[in-house]
Structure 1
Amino acid sequence: MRTPVRVGVFGLLGSGNLGNDGSLEAVLGYLSAAHPDAVVDALCGGPEVVTARYGIPATRLHWYRGEYRTASRAGAIAGKGVGKLVDVVRTAAWVRRHDVVIVPGMGVLEATLPLRPWGFPYSLFLLCASGRLLGARVALVSVGAAAIGSRPTRALVRWSAKLATYRSYRDGPSRDAMRAMGVDTARDEVYPDLAFALPTPPASTPSGPPGQVCVGVMAFHGGDDDRARAEEIHRRYLEGTIRFVRALVEDGRPVRLLTGDACDRPVVDAIRDAVDSPLVTAAEAVSLADLMKETAAADTVVATRYHNLICALKVATPTLALSYAAKSDALMARMGLGAYCHPAREVDADRLLEQFRELEKRSTELRRTLAERNQDAARRLKDQFTALTEALFPTTDHAQTLRKAP
């Protein structure tokens, strides 16, 4: 009798970011279909949430519970320092128990949002180094990457990628960024984001009012290199978004505010307080499936967070991106909406309204384009899962792949 393959999933999962959890859900769907005998557990940011939602055992990513809180007191600083040492042992012990470890999507090789090198980049390096030393196959699957200014962060990201057994990227610029950082990407492929493998909500009569616009917001403060002007960037983003929402309301358009992370809620509250209209409501989405239902009910979507964009595009709703990184531009171009990007750092409400109105004029045409691009994304992700099986799982397990992955 063959011993079941032991598979671990790793990342900031269950921590409130719906995009990260959507990537996990896609990989769990693949494992269930292609490798149903695999024994799966997680090393992640929110183990209680992952276990409750997905039914797999989960271990906390960091020994020190305050890892992502700013340490100002001596005790907190000491706790973080000790935690870094303890996590070396904890991570290696967890990796040792697995044959395969999958990092499902996410922007694990980028710093497009504020990021400290000794936070997640250090954890990812420990994972990949442990996998190489202990013989576990580590896969970075449809991940995001970008140029990184901080030398310590760049070094940790580069070595993590080099030590991984398998790498694929969610867009071409991600692969280009890793090549520029000195990683040999000759055998690395580009596939769509894993969220495109999730089920699309069944078509139904739109539940939102006629003319509803979904506006996806974000607690945006710039990237890792923008710390000195983070508050200015956030103020300009918020002011521009408020002006845009107010203009929609003045035209009688119902606006539904969307988030993608727990930290976005203050932005929703600020917009609702500033506009002060019953036409502005807020969604309470707890998954990408919820976000897809919201965007499917809208005439048009304007969104900032990457996975808000994916949800709208996946249900073929005309979408305009408030773009804060190359990944958003690449996604929109791949889906045929490259002309409908607006810089999140410099939100010009008047120009945004012009782009919005142009987008709505082409709504019927763009819905057809999105339907075609979604079919292509689904085919490409089937190729991704086939390649993943060939790279990571023993040949004796390949018979399981006769079952089609989602």
Structure 2
Amino acid sequence: MTAPRGRPVRVGVFGLLGSGNLGNDGSLEAVLGYLRADHPEAVVDALCGGPEVVARRYGIRATRLHWYRGEYRTASRAGAVAGKGLGKLVDAFRTAAWVRRHDVVVVPGMGVLEATLPLRPWGFPYALFLLCAAGRLTGTPVALVGVGAAAIRDRPTRALVRLAARLAAYRSYRDELSRDAMRRMGVDTSRDEVYPDLAFALPVPAAPGPGDAPGTVCVGVMDFHGSNDDRARADEIHRRYLEGTTRFVRTLAGEGRPVRLVTGDGVDRAVVEAVLAAVDSPLVTASPAASLAELMAEMAGADVVVAARYHNLVCALKAGTPTLAVSYAAKSDALMAGMGLGAYCHPARELDVDRLLEQFRELEKGAAGARRTLAEHNRAATGRLAHQFTALTTALFPAADRPHALREAP
């Protein structure tokens, strides 16, 4: 893909970016780093969930993803239902017009082809379908770069996701499970590659100084209610997860361990507040981290990380900190296994605090070995992601084809 002579390449980035999910924004940051290093002439803008945040934080123009501002709120009144319905029609034209203005559109990472957390088919799956269909109709290649996928039971959601994937010009996945899931859903994945999550391309910030409390444990919490298939018992799952997490944190604080509560999405703040109120200890504090880089810095200074959200785990593993996953989906188990810590996974739906504490103590005893293992796997991940960006240039920017070199932070 090349722009007409004399005009810079126009690249669009698309997704639920700037909406409070730190993992999504971290994936965007990684792709922007690649574009600025390898294609500095490119003009980049976004169609996204939080345009004000994206424009302010990353210095690019941004447009709101949905015409109807209440898209992700439950519609109970007739006016809201009508607004949502009209929004679907308006978004089809808005998306096509936006896509047509670009030479390439990139969907940076994120779990855009999965339903491991609750979602409705006419929300983001429909928006992704519109994007990929518009790309095919206008001749603008749409690239799904390092995305997550999972088998989807809900038929409308599965149909939209499958169609979107088929219409994309380029696909790569963040793990083998994702590629296998799309193959089982009827997508030809013979040309699709698997690379580490895009967030592994981000530099590791400096850890906090020695003035910070030694022995700190970062505990990553989430507003967990199960998956799309767990709606009937969502309240029960949430109650068990919250009670188990609270008891785990209370036990650590009772042993004199400083605990730092971290999140990965704005919706998790309610869980943080509930745990703080229930434990009521000066040893338990909440992190104000507002970006993946800030989160990674906190985790780099911790002795151990125990976390649920996928990108909390990515941050901890990238930082080289011994990590225990409170796993809510197969993608977390696959991530931990791929980084050499597959033994340290615990099911979020059936959280057993005694067993979690046992795994935690085992991990602490083997912390030195875990750090060596993570250093080795991080070097391999850096190399694989350099190959990912070179492959992306070859596919989408052939006139500028050249190797990409990722550099670790000093």
TM-score (norm 1): 0.98
Q: What is aligned with 2:348?
A: 344
Off by >6 Å, runs of 4+ in structure 1: none
Residue of structure 2 in register with 1:196 after alignment: 200
- For the 8 Å contact 2:143–2:168, the answer to whether it is kept is yes
Output aligned runs, 1:139-150, within 5 Å. 139-150=143-154
The 1:44–1:378 alpha-carbon spacing in structure 2 relative to 1, beyond 3 Å, is same
- Residue 297 of structure 1: how far off its partner (Å): 1.1
Shift of 1:2: 3.3
Please say if 1:132 is aligned against 2:136: yes
Partner of 1:101: 105
The DSSP-based 3-state class of the residue aligned with 1:102 is strand
Question: Is residue 255 from structure 1 mapped to residue 259 from structure 2 by the alignment?
Answer: yes
Cα distance in 2 for residues equivalent to 1:164 and 1:218: 31
Residue of structure 1 in register with 2:395 after alignment:
391
Q: Structure 1: state its 5+ residue gaps.
A: none
* Correspondence for 1:28 among 26, 32, 36: 32
AA aligned opposite 1:396 = A
CA distance in 2, matches of 1:246, 1:30: 42
The alpha-carbon deviation at position 397 of structure 1 amounts to 2.8
- The CA distance in 1 between the partners of 2:330 and 2:28, in whole Å, is 23
Q: 1:185 aligns to what?
A: 189
Hey, what's the Cα distance between the residues in 1 that align with 2:50 and 2:207?
A: 32
**Is the partner of 2:63 in helix, strand or coil?**
strand
Compute the displacement of 1:203 (Å): 5.4
Task: Note the alpha carbon deviations across 1:205-254, whole angstroms, 9 max, x for none.
Answer: 45531111000000000000111111110000000001111111111111
Q: In structure 1, which of residues 355, 367, 382 is the aligned counterpart of residue 359 of structure 2? A: 355
Distance 1:12 1:207, change over 3 A: farther
1:148-187 aligned within 5 A = 148-187=152-191
Structural RMSD (CA): 1.1
Paired residues for 1:61-80 under 5 Å = 61-80=65-84
8 Å contact 1:206–1:297 — kept in the other structure? no
Mapped to 2, the partners of 1:108 and 1:331 lie a distance apart of 17
Residue equivalent to 1:284: 288
Q: What aligned pairs does 1:77-96 form with structure 2 within 5 A after superposition? A: 77-96=81-100
1:207/1:297 contact within 8 Å kept: no
Secondary structure at the aligned position of 2:349 is classed as helix
**Cα distance in 1, alignment partners of residues 270 and 205 from structure 2:** 28
Q: 3-state SS of the aligned residue for 1:345?
A: coil
TM-score by length of 2: 0.97
1:39-74: CA deviations, max 9, x gaps?
A: 100000000000000000000000000000000000
Secondary structure at the aligned position of 2:182 is classed as helix
Query: Which is worse superposed, 114-123 or 1-10?
Result: 1-10
Q: How many pairs are equivalent?
A: 403
Separation in structure 1 between the aligned mates of residue 270 and residue 211 of structure 2, nearest angstrom:
26
Cα displacement string for residues 329-384 of structure 1 (whole angstroms, at most 9, x for unaligned residues)? 00000000000000001111100000000000000011010011001000000000
Distance 1:405 1:200 in 2: 12
- The counterpart of 2:325, out of the listed 321, 333, 336, is 321
**1:226 pairs with one of 227, 230, 240:** 230
Change (3 A) 1:44 1:236: same
